[in-house]
Amino acid sequence: MGIPRILHYPGSKWSMADWIVSHFPEHQTYLEPFFGSGAFSKQRSQLETVNDIDGGVVNLSCY
């Protein structure tokens, strides 16, 4: 993965990110209920919604 991690977050999907994204079908809307540190990236969707129990970590990604 070409993007370095800024946080080491428990339960991170970073090590599996390429595999996870390779299984995404084409889509217009993306929902991520367990965003965590947002350790992987994909092409933008028309509508994206992310959530996590730790709102501070999610807000770190809103720049």
Q: What are the strands, taking DSSP E only, across 1-63?
A: 29-32, 47-50
Q: How many CA atoms lie within 13 A of 11 on its CB side?
A: 8
**pLDDT above 80 (res 28):** yes
Choice between 61 and 15, residue whose per-residue pLDDT is larger: 15
* pLDDT value at residue 2: 53
Alpha helices in the chain (DSSP H): 17-22, 55-60
**pLDDT above 60 (res 21):** yes
Average predicted confidence (pLDDT) for the chain: 78
pTM over 0.75: no
